[in-house]
Structure 1
Amino acid sequence: MDHKLLRSFVAAAETLHYAKAGKLLDVPRSTVVTDVRKLEGILGYELFRRDVESTQLSDAGAAFLPDAQRQLAASAAAAARSAPAPGGKAKASKGKGRAPKVKGEPLPYKKRQGR
């Protein structure tokens, strides 16, 4: 199942507010609504009740929420296991050996700076 759709559903189900879920995921509210509708099309049943003014999970949505959370947690754990180990070959500094000359500052061995 598509993880983007699952993340949108879980965020909307936990906050019970599409706009807050969008802010949490850093996407527009319309994207969350579209993702939830796509997921409902894939599953074949409604996850949220549309006959009420506020956002509420349907019975099927409440039953599906723990499974969706489990799938997201499993995929996050698998991604963490497959991540490369930190560290590696150290890179040498590419800086110059001496600090650059500041314009207008006299040289230490000259009495007067030339023009």
Structure 2
Amino acid sequence: MTDNAPQTDKPAGKTIDANDRARLDQIFMQVILDVQAQAQQTQPAQASNLAAMFHKELVTDALQGCAMLIAGWNQGVIDEAGLTRSAKALRGLELPELAARLERLRQIDEA
């Protein structure tokens, strides 16, 4: 039995045209790499095991959201779940400006 049905396993989010994706790939990756680097450089707000645990969880969420965004980008989509996950984690890490920069990826092809 063969399955010739079109693949519909793309993540939910805004579709990016292949030409736009090729043109904007470097900008997209610069934002993602900056988010990853800055999230990893943060420190827990307090010196306690509980604060360290929550901090690690937020950093992990930010990085996993970035991975989701990269996977979506490779499929021609701005992954909404990944974007939301990363932005929420960045705000939890007290990086609201970086979260806003990441959220502007929704309009990356509108410039």
TM-score w.r.t. the length of structure 2 is 0.28
In proportion to residue count, which structure has more helix? 2
User: More relative contact order in 1 or in 2 (CA 8 Å, sep 6+)?
Assistant: 2
Q: Which has the larger radius of gyration?
A: 1
